[in-house]
A = this chain, B = another copy of it.
């Protein structure tokens, strides 16, 4: 049996209005009735019905977070941060993995009258944007950004992070550096990281040719394997490689291993993401870290901010950081 406010009222011999006041600890009742009511609540094991509340308050204390694929290794950390921050703010999170039916989910979330939406990684199409705009709920982009629409985002600067990774390699004495890139047409993870890579080379007066970049289909393990193969075919003398994701970096390490190339002795490799997995590879992977967990937290904070102040909020560029492990070696400059 599940009790209602009416049951409590009856048991405590007061009106439901009074119970409501006490439950929401507003003012307007004596200590005595409060005791009485609290006791009734306790005895009945009463819990307010959040559904009924939502109907009135127009707040469901639920936010939706969309991932393009839940199986990506990035999501656990992000989701962890999101979930944590949301729970601390008294909200829950509905996860949606939008394998090609994003609009479906958007409709569902709309009907559920969620309080806000966090949109991850995936590109925000016009259709999505317009629909969410109509829903009239706060939206923030996480680990992605939109050039076409004025939507606040939280992410690392891909360009700067890629620059840092490359610079790290350079400062370790490398000047024959290649990059295993993800999809070149990916406006953010693809293009921006390539730009960062080139900028670093340029700033340190290291000549660049297209042979130094292998363009892959995606950012996965297999892409890293393929990428390294392509890369060393084009540029056999590389001493260091920047991979655009940890998965790719680990794929590259594997390929190097198969090819008898020693990492890091003969080839240094730096990754991007700093997944849990990075610490578990052989050798442990040096990587530029995105503060995934914190980014998740930040995104929900931004949502709540927009909710409370009912106004736009500023985008956040989160700090990246290189975490030193063992896949990059210092090279004697000769």
From A25-33, A48-56, A152-160, give the one contacting chain B. Answer: A48-56
A110 CA to B108 CA, complexed, in Å:
21
Contact A97:B83 (CB < 8 A) given known A134-B45, A251-B280, A280-B277: yes
Chain B positions within 8 Å of A112 at CB level: 50-51, 62, 92
Cα distance A2–B135 in the bound complex, in angstroms: 7
Which A residues form the contact surface with B (CB < 8 A)? 1-2, 45, 47-52, 54-55, 60, 62, 70-73, 75-77, 79-80, 83-84, 87, 92-97, 104-105, 107-113, 134-136, 221, 247, 250-251, 253-254, 257, 276-277, 279-282
From A54, which residue of chain B is reached at the shortest CB distance? B51
Whether A83 touches B70, Cβ cut-off 8 Å, given contacts A51-B55, A250-B280, is yes
Closest B-chain residue to A293, C-beta based? B71
* CB atoms of B75 and A76 under 8 A apart: yes
Can you list 24 A-B contacts with CB-CB less than 8 angstroms, sorted by A residue number?
Answer: A47-B107, A48-B111, A49-B111, A49-B113, A51-B54, A51-B113, A70-B76, A70-B79, A71-B77, A71-B276, A72-B76, A75-B76, A79-B95, A83-B96, A87-B96, A87-B105, A92-B94, A92-B96, A92-B108, A92-B112, A94-B95, A247-B280, A254-B280, A277-B280
Which DSSP category, helix, strand, loop or mixed, fits chain A's interface? Answer: helix
| CA A97 to CA B296, docked complex, whole Å | 14
Q: How far is the CB of A80 from chain B (nearest CB, A)?
A: 4
A80 to B75, CA, bound (A): 11
Partner of A47, one of B70, B79, B104, B110: B110
| Contact, CB under 8 Å: B94 / A62 | yes
CB–CB B79/A111 < 8 A: no
Q: How many angstroms between the C-alpha atoms of A48 and B245 in the bound complex?
A: 42
Q: How far apart are the CA atoms of A108 and B45 in the complex, in Å?
A: 14
State A48–B55 Cα separation when bound (angstroms).
Answer: 12
Contact of A71 among B1, B76, B247 (CB under 8 A): B76
Q: How far is the CB of A109 from chain B (nearest CB, A)?
A: 8
